[in-house]
Amino acid sequence: MMTILTTGGTFDKIYFDAKSQFHIGESQVEPILIEGNVTIDYTVESLLRKDSLEMTDDDRQLLCEHVKASSAQQIIITHGTDTMSQTAKALAAHGIDGKTVVLVGAMQPARMRVTDAPFNLGFACAAVQLLPSDIYIAMCGQVFQHNNVKKNLVAGRFETEIKSD
Secondary structure of the chain in the HEC alphabet? CEEEEEEECHHHEEEECCCCEEEECCCCHHHHHHHCCCCCCEEEEEEEEECHHHCCHHHHHHHHHHHHHCCCCEEEEECCCCCHHHHHHHHHHCCCCCCEEEEECCCCCCCCCCCCHHHHHHHHHHHHHHCCCEEEEEECCEEEECCCEEEECCCCEEEECCCCC
Average pLDDT over residues 126-142: 96
pTM: 0.92
- Beta-carbon contacts of residue 51 (< 8 Å; ≥ 6 apart): 8, 9, 10, 13, 24, 80, 82
What pLDDT does 112 receive? Answer: 87
**Are 128 and 74 contacting, i.e. CB atoms less than 8 angstroms apart?**
yes
Give percent of the chain with pLDDT exceeding 90. 75
Parse the chain into domains and list their residue ranges.
2-160
Secondary structure of 52-66 in the HEC alphabet? HHHCCHHHHHHHHHH
Give the chain's mean pLDDT: 92
**Angle at the Cα of 75 from the Cα atoms of 41 and 106, rounded to 5 degrees:** 100
CATH class of 2-160: alpha beta
What pLDDT does 17 receive? Answer: 60
pLDDT digits (tens, 9 = 90+) for 2-44: 999 999 998 998 876 655 677 888 899 999 999 999 999 999 9
What pLDDT does 23 receive? Answer: 80
pLDDT digits (tens, 9 = 90+) for 71-105: 999 999 999 999 999 999 999 999 888 999 999 99
> Is the predicted pLDDT of residue 162 greater than 90, yes or no?
no
Per-residue pLDDT band at 129 (split at 50, 70, 90): very high
What pLDDT does 113 receive? Answer: 84
CA–CA gap between residue 145 and residue 16 (Å, rounded): 35
